[in-house]
A and B are shown apart, each in its own frame.
Chain A
Amino acid sequence: MNDKALANTGNSATARFDLQRDMSDDERLRHARQAFAGDFDSEIATYISACVHCGLCAEACHFYEVTGDPKYTPIHKLDPFKKAYRREVGPFAPIIRTFGLVPSMTLADLEEWEVLIYDSCTMCGRCTLICPMGIDIAELVKNARHGMYEAGLVPERLENITRNAENRHSPFGTKEDFTKAIQTIEKEFGIAIPVDKPKADILVTVTPGDLEEDHASVAGVARIMEKIGADWTYSSDAFEATNFGFLSGNLPLQRDLTMRIIDKAVEIGASTLLLPECGHAYGAARWEAAEWYGGPTPVSVLHMVEFLDKLIADGQITVKSVGGKTATYHDPCQIIRRGGLEAAPHRILDALGYDLHEMEDHGSFSYCCGGGGGVLANARAEPLRLKVFDLKRSQVEATGVEHFVTSCGQCRLSFNKAGKTRN
């Protein structure tokens, strides 16, 4: 970090942003512009040109709903990105530049927007769903993050975790750390967990949260695999499911992390790549892997919930009924709204015998927990995140149920963390 960034990481109420890497201001601006321009394609052109500035997306956004501040209007979070499009590549770009109709994007713009693009957007896509023009605003925010990353304008905590993913294999740690953690879990639960089998039918991946705290979920997977007699393995070369390239805007890293698990699955001859209960990992692998692979992926990418639903439907595992205990289900944005995996978790809850009470906003219209899209990792965003979480909390509490169920590791962390602060 340079002096400018240090000056801005204090409690200044105005522009508060983090800077990475040593670059002149001009270089930052140029990198951002190039990355933005690299992303501009017919899809983005159509989205940006189709916007009628109706402002309906504001009311879809939990950040706007809880603050009432117009700067959190989803499409406004893309202002520099849209400006760059209009000035540099839009159909009237030469005219706009000649007459200066749209002001040039400045570094100050980007610094101001860092907070809007990273701290106040979980890329949950509720705005996308509400937009009458069908503009995928969440996707555009992800695109805008590419330019922010190239300009070295990423929240410091998020960038640190991203660097760990890049240099140490995973935010959790190195391959050796993984092997140790698995050995610990084996001892703790008295089970055997296969790692690095040269050939296997199912390659299972895991999140840092499971390896750090939630050992029971790793053990649970191992027990189910043993029960169904699956030919499965973890790989110390490709155990990490989360993709911090996807969250931070580091596009080359996103590609590498995705290809690492896909390539490994192909190498060991797996038919299935199994993802843990992680929302954005599902988005990155299930819906974007084919783009990096350059065609249909030879392995089928399944979320843990999809997998369990199949096992229950095929009668390979049976579950004990809880006998009509009341529960509510929080629909994780990346898995339900942006992932389409809505029926499977409900069938599992049915099989478990839960008496489900839905929240006021549920299914595709569910509010995000506030921790997705790298916001939970971004420590400086916490005060705002907790405000957003309260919206979710009030809806959960309104159901008055005994149990709370969700199918995303990040949502769970977000609920746990907020629970500690709020209660």
Chain B
Amino acid sequence: MFHIGFVVVFLGLGAHITFIKGLTGLSSHNLPTNLIVVVGVITLASLVAALVRRLINPVQRLISTFDDYSTWLVTVLPLVTGLAAAAHFGEHYENTLAVHILSVELFLIWLPFSKLMHMVLFVFSRGMDRGTHDTSRCEGLRRVYV
């Protein structure tokens, strides 16, 4: 749920598109800002639900580590500050926006040291289930063709 929300909010908001265009020259149409705010709130709600589940589900509580909670916070901050900026919360819009940008930077710094790496590693992890096992017939997938 929040995975989809992040993609929509990140790629759909006009301000984000302007920012990406400035960096890479790539551009696309934007979604209405009001819709983005709704999606952002839903995303935030699902992240809160994910945290609540982590806290009350006995299995998840048992296997959770510091990483799970710190990463949750680092993930939630850009969303909260972004929504605040969109709502022009606070006296100076520039300050709110600066806090938003800083929170994204924190997210990017935290990424390689945490479970956020799953966004890269899942490709390799899933890929390894196939391939490495059958060196005798090079079929890759554990599937017997007879």
A residues sitting closer than 8 Å to B (CB atoms) are 43, 46-47, 49-55, 58, 64, 70-71, 73, 75-76, 92, 101, 128, 132-136, 286-291, 293, 295-297, 301, 306, 309-310, 338-341, 343-344
Contacts and interface: CB of A to CB of B under 8 A. Distances in A.
Given A290-B134, A310-B146, A340-B142, A133 B63 contact: no
Contacts of B134: 287, 290
A340 B141 contact: yes
Contacts, number: 103
B92 interface: no
Contact of A47 (B113, B125, B136, B142): B125
A76 B67 CA distance: 16
A344 B125 contact: no
Contact of A340 (B62, B126, B144): B144
Contacts of B141: 340
A100 to B, nearest CB: 12
A52 B128 contact: no
A43 B132 contact: yes
A134 B126 contact: yes
A54 B60 contact: yes
Contact of B59 (A58, A132, A290): A58
B146 A70 contact: no
Interface string B96-137: 000000000000000001010110011011111100111111
A355 to B, nearest CB: 24
8 contacts: A46-B124, A53-B60, A71-B62, A133-B121, A289-B136, A296-B135, A338-B142, A344-B146
Contacts of B66: 101
A73 B122 contact: no
Interface residues of B, number: 37
Contacts of B127: 134
A1 B58 CA distance: 36
B131 to A, nearest CB: 10
Contacts of A287: 133-134, 142
B142 A135 contact: no
B34 interface: no
A110 B136 CA distance: 35
Nearest to A313: B146
Q: Chain B at the A interface: mostly helix, strand, loop or mixed? A: helix
B146 A134 contact: no
A313 to B, nearest CB: 8
Contacts of B68: 52-53
Contacts of B30: none
A402 B90 CA distance: 74
Contact of A53 (B58, B63, B124): B63
A296 B129 CA distance: 19
A310 B145 CA distance: 11
B24 interface: no
B125 A134 contact: yes
A128 to B, nearest CB: 7
B143 interface: yes
A297 B136 contact: yes
A303 B109 CA distance: 51
B128 A43 contact: yes
B121 A92 contact: no
B144 to A, nearest CB: 5
Given A43-B132, A344-B144, 15 more contacts: A46-B124, A51-B115, A53-B54, A53-B63, A53-B64, A55-B63, A70-B63, A73-B59, A73-B63, A75-B63, A128-B129, A133-B121, A134-B126, A136-B129, A297-B136
B125 A52 contact: no
A42 to B, nearest CB: 9
A290 B136 contact: yes
A46 B118 contact: no
Contact of B125 (A92, A133, A338): A133
The 8 closest A-B pairs by CB, nearest first: A134-B126, A290-B135, A290-B136, A50-B125, A50-B121, A340-B142, A55-B59, A340-B143
